[in-house]
Each structure stands twice: as C-alpha cells, then as structure tokens.
Amino acid sequence: MAAPMVVVMTTDAFIDDLPKVELHVHLVGSASVPTVLELARRYPGSGVPTTEEELRAFYTFKDFPAFARVYEKVNSLVREPEDVATLVLGLARDLAPQRGRYVELQVTPYAHHVMGIPMRAVTEALDLASRRSLEEYGVEMAYIFDIPGEHGEEAARVTLEHSLQEPPEALVGFGLAGIEQERPKYRDTFRDAFTAARNAGLRSLPHAGEMDGAEVIWESLEALGAERIAHGIRCLDDPKLVAVLRERQIPLDVCPTSNVYTGQIARIEDHPLPRLLEEGLFLTLNTDDPPMFATSLNEEYRVVARTFGLGVPELAQLARNGVQASSMAADRKSAVIAEIDALAARG
C-alpha cells in the first residue's frame, strides 16, 4: 500500500492564507492609486498628479520631510465626509483578500479640521465605514486618533477635543506622528494631551524612533505612557532601552518597506528587523502607507521571509504578535490565534 502523499505548503501559500491584523496604517496613506487619481481629478489644482505614471513618480521620496509634503497634498483631496468613508472602505476591500481580520487605522482629525470638515461629520463617516467594513468585507475596523506633531499645540488641542467630545464608536487609541525632531518644542503640550486621553480610557500608541534616536522612545514611554510604539527601530542605539522594551514586552509596530521609501534605511537588507528579533523584542509587521510605498500586508510578510529567511514559525509568530498587541476583544483574539495555529500546524 502506497504511503499517503504529504503536501508541503510553500511560504507564499502560507502567507496568502495566514490570518493577519494591521496595527500601523494611515487613513490617507492607505488610499489606492485609482482612488487618489479619482479624487485628484475631482479636485483639480491640488498639486496631486492626475495620471498613474505621474502619481507613481510623485510617490518617490528622498527623505521623510519630502514624504510628509506629499502626504499633506494627498490629504488635501479629502474634503467631504464621504471621502473619509471611501478611504476606510477601500482599505477594508484591499485587506479582505489578504486574510485581513482587524485594523487599527491611524486617523488624523486635525487634517480634516483644516479642510473644514466638522468633527461630527468625520465621526459619522468613520462609524458608517467601520460598520460597512465588517458587514461587507469581514474586516473589523478600529481607530487611533493621532496628532501631527509638527503642527504643535493647535493640532494637539483639536485631536484631543475630537477624541473626547466626538469619538467614533471604534476609537481605541491616541497617537502622535509626524516629524519627530519637532517634538521637544511641544513636550509639555503632548504630555498633557496624552494624560487626558489615557484618563478617558484610550491607549497610548505614539510613533517614535523612526527618524530620531532612542531618546524619543524614552520620552514616549516615560512622558506619554506608551503601551505600543509605532516603528521603534532606533531603540537599538541604546542597550538599556532595548532591555526595558524586552522586559516589558512593549510591542514595536515595524514597517520595513516604509523605512526604505522614506530614507530611514538605505536598503531592505539593512533593516534591523533580524536584530530586533534576536534581542527578544516584541514585533508586529505592518505597512504604514501601502500604496505610497508600493506594498501590501501580504507583501511585507513576503519581504521579510525572502530577505531575512523567516520561515513558517517566525511568520506565524509575527501574526500572533499583531493579534496579541491589538485592542480586539479577548474572544476575537483567541479565535484568530486559533486560526493562525491551525494553519501553522499544516505549514
């Protein structure tokens, strides 16, 4: 009698089938190329190209400030509440075939404020989009409201007011993004805003250690009460900080392709992800602004697998980490981790 044939799942097939969460992706940065072109043609004069070839060239950044300028121009295309909902639903549509189960979407209320969209209208659009994301695509959508740090006190005030006075139903976190080198000017303002947000039950989820050194991560931990760090790759500059992050198991939401596109890392091969893992740090894998960086959540898993030789056990653990670091309900976490474990057992 012939022995039963054993089918070995390829790494690509495993990634395709792997249930995933996305904890670090921005609303405007998630807009697909067709969506951005549609909006650019709807609102001529924005400075955003209206052809695909020109738009892809537009998405070439020599450094983070250049990326920030492009991001602001794309944000200027989001002028109506319907535009906000369109972007959320577009992300859910993109993630569904990638086995995306849950997202914590970074939303910048200040950006919509300066475009004249009322708080209540933004919140209603986010609430509608989160319901439809789950109903139509099976993707659970949660939100993080972040302060664009370089805009200082007014941005902190608007973000906090929106978070406390008109929060969407799925708001789970309070964040801080933008150019890290600008933060020291507003240290007290940001600390006070995060204290108020945490007192209201929101998780502290700032960006830190992407473009500046370990000190901005220390500041996030000590002054902002960070529970999770977006990026965090500069922690390796300070062995004491690495030890603290390892001991507390503070998740770092890493985005390898983003770091290359914004000039933080010269080549993907130079990314510190392998060393972060060797140090025993808690990593989750994310996209940041996928269409702007010509990537996707599946592609991020493929990139780290092919560049750093990660296999099924390591990829499955990154997926589990994302679930564990999320704000999903406990029963949902257990269900998604069970899916990951079952797939890993076959892989």
Closest CA to 292 of 64, 46, 18: 64
- Residues 165, 229: Cα–Cα separation, whole Å: 25
Q: What single DSSP character describes residue 288?
A: B
Name the token pair of 274: 């392998």
Catalytic residue among 22, 104, 180, 210: 210
Active site residue 269: no
Q: Which amino acid is at 275?
A: R
Inter-residue long-range contacts of 271-276, CB under 8 Å, 24+ positions, other chains counted: 271/233, 271/307, 272/233, 272/236, 273/304, 273/308, 274/308, 275/236, 276/233, 276/235, 276/236, 276/252
The Cα angle at residue 26 between residues 303 and 319, in degrees rounded to 5: 45
Write down the H helix ranges in 200-310: 214-222, 239-248, 256-261, 273-278, 297-308
Q: What is the DSSP string of 135-175?
A: HHH--EEEEEEEEEGGGHHHHHHHHHHHHHHS--TTEEEEE
Phi, psi of 137 (to 5 degrees): -125, -5
Mind telling me the catalytic residues? 210
